Amino acid sequence: MAAAFEKARSTATAESGKNLLQVGALTMHFPLTQGIIFQRQVGAVRAVDGIDFFVEKGETLGLVGESGCGKSTTGRAILQLYKPTAGSVRFEGTELTTLGGEAMRRMRRKMQMIFQDPYASLNPRMTVGNIIGEPIEVHHLARGKAKTERVQELLRIVGLNPYFTNRYPHEFSGGQRQRIGVARALAVEPEFIVADEPISALDVSIQAQIINLLEELQSKFQLTYLFIAHDLSVVRHISDRVAVMYLGKIVELSDRQELYERPLHPYTQALLSAVPIPDPAIEQKRKRIILTGDVPSPVNPPTGCRFHTRCWKAQPICSEADPEFIEQSPRHWAACHFPG
């Protein structure tokens, strides 16, 4: 994967000024232990297993895949909420994996996260004003009346009544709570936001409102997003580029239009075949790819290509050698022995 990282870097070298985030061979393993008193490691959950990608300034990179493939873990490892087992995360040229203490705290002002569950991510014992105002205080951005005015401004920006500051999270709907989460992320004026499935817990009627809000905020504040989701239709709408993840690895990465029109990896092809098309004539003629078997365990993933146990193109080499993540065409990477 190191070679793929170098290839990704070489592709971006001419436009190096555009790159905000560079991830190389990122690995996140969670140890499995046995024993009550004297615990010993007997294995590891290989949630993220050596992935490479970059995010350009001002773009939205969509990260998609099945539940349990490592998407959310990737987002948390990038922000150092989980300390990566191995690999490199460079933000504006600064290596985050070696930062600690005060240096990491200062860097966190530039990077924020919108969490998946608006019901669990807000402290029920804190008012909305305190929830949004806390990061402002932590980073010493404002105090007293100035902080109160900043909180009210943020509520107004995300479409809420600015005088709701003394209310508690339980007094709001799911969509309103997610807006509060967005306001909290914006409080420190970040450059980069990881949106971890920010609409999956919301009603369909509310999802479009949150997506439109995120797009408006991106345009207004020149934000860069890593948008994590499993809904390919939403990802197509909001993303500039899309990375497809399977069992801890990125199997394909491309510009949005290229990926949806010419997917190279069998897993991507299977995912796209499941997306409904609103034209009955096209939908009836389209061939649906049904994957057999279950997703293997990340504790003991298959040898070679991790998708070979469910792939209709699989040959002996697929179980023997892990395919390289290489650039198949300009800005289109895929890890497959038989792409296309």
The reported pLDDT for the residue numbered 27 is 96
**What pLDDT, on the 0 to 100 scale, is given for residue 274?**
80
- DSSP characters over 315-327: -HHHHHSPPP-EE
Predicted confidence at residue 1, as pLDDT, reads 40
Q: Which two tokens stand for residue 187?
A: 């409080």
Gap between the Cα atoms of 320 and 303, Å rounded: 6
> How far is the C-alpha of 199 from the C-alpha of 206, rounded, in Å?
8
Q: What pLDDT score was predicted for residue 232?
A: 87
Residue 321 has a CB neighbour count (10 Å cut-off) of 12
- Residue 330 CA to residue 11 CA, distance in Å, equals 9
Fold of 1-33+43-57+65-92+230-340: Rossmann fold (3.40.50)
C-alpha–C-alpha distance, residues 140 and 86, integer Å: 33
C-alpha radius of gyration, the chain, whole number: 21
Strand 224-229 to 60-64 pairing: parallel
Residue 161 CA to residue 166 CA, distance in Å, equals 11
Q: How far is CA 89 from CA 24, 38, 51, in A?
A: 7, 34, 11
Give the phi and the psi of residue 27 in degrees, each rounded to 5: -130, 135
What does the pLDDT read at residue 291?
Answer: 84
Q: CA 65, CA 69: separation in Å to the nearest integer?
A: 6
HEC readout, 100-135: CHHHHHHHHHHEEEECCCCCCCCCCCCCHHHHHHHH
pLDDT averages per 10-residue partition of the chain, 340 residues = 42 57 96 84 91 96 93 96 95 93 90 91 94 94 93 96 94 94 96 94 88 95 95 90 96 95 94 77 71 88 94 93 94 94
Residue 17 pLDDT: 60
Element (H, E) at 145: helix 144-157
